[in-house]
Amino acid sequence: MAALDPRVHPYRADLAAKHLQGQVEAPRFVDGTPHDVVEPVAGLRREPSHNARLDTEVLFSERVIVYETTDEGWAWGQLESDGYVGWISANALARPGQAPTHKVTALRTLAFPTADIKAPPLAGLPMGARLAIARQDELFAVTASGWHLPAAHLARLPAAQPDFVAVAEQFLGTPYLWGGKTSLGLDCSALVQISLQAAGLACPRDSDMQEQALGARLAFDDLRRGDLVFWKGHVGIVRDGNTLIHANAHHMAVAIEPVAEALGRIRAAGSEPSSVRRLV
């Protein structure tokens, strides 16, 4: 049988998704059930433990296909958005509700109980979170559950930003967090994914997947805004012919630096660029 990537194919030694029957070996195959994330952000982990490594984060109203829920309160499933597979707290999930109508376009927005910015907020939602908006109340968009969010921080689906690099630039200074996907912390591939998704473009989660799936390969001597530079385990976004922006552990933040400086620093650490990709 051909080897599948367990990051994006739901199978384990003891369990696999029904649709993978015949492609993988497992003693049990099951149909998944759809659930929606009902927390602002939830962690998707390698193992069913809060101490396990964070592989990625799941945003409010994202759809998760759940294949198993344990007695300890963990759900094992696959994200509908980018296909990532892992463990998520079952408390963060509920059966599907209303279909989202809007998405958050600000780095982070707040949900208030009433149309009053002085009221204590109920939740903070990150860029990319989706909501079902029921009505408008002055400058607020209101969900069926009564959350009031600044309408200026939302856009009706499927609105797309015209420049994904400008989206990435909004995250300048955000702390580096392996597996993170919000303005509270994110990693290099998340910066690319969030920015492209804001521009209406599908994007895998990890940098090696992005290098395989995105754009066309080109030479290093023709860099322009929006090109992606890949190293083993890392990716940066070109801002212009001279600078790039990337979330990186050297600065422990999203930083802008000269391309030549980044190439030299990473080369000194023993890693050469593997490719440059241009989205076409």
Active-site residues, by number, are 188, 234, 246
Which of 223, 234, 238, 219 minimizes the C-alpha distance to 270?
A: 234
Identify the helix (H) or strand (E) that includes residue 167.
helix 164-169
Mind spelling out the 3-state secondary structure of 179-237?
A: CCEECCEECHHHHHHHHHHHCCCCCCCCHHHHHHHCCEEECHHHCCCCCEEEECCEEEE
Question: Is residue 138 helix, strand or coil?
Answer: coil
Residues near 186 by Cβ (< 8 Å), separated by ≥ 6? 171, 174, 176, 177, 180, 194, 247, 254
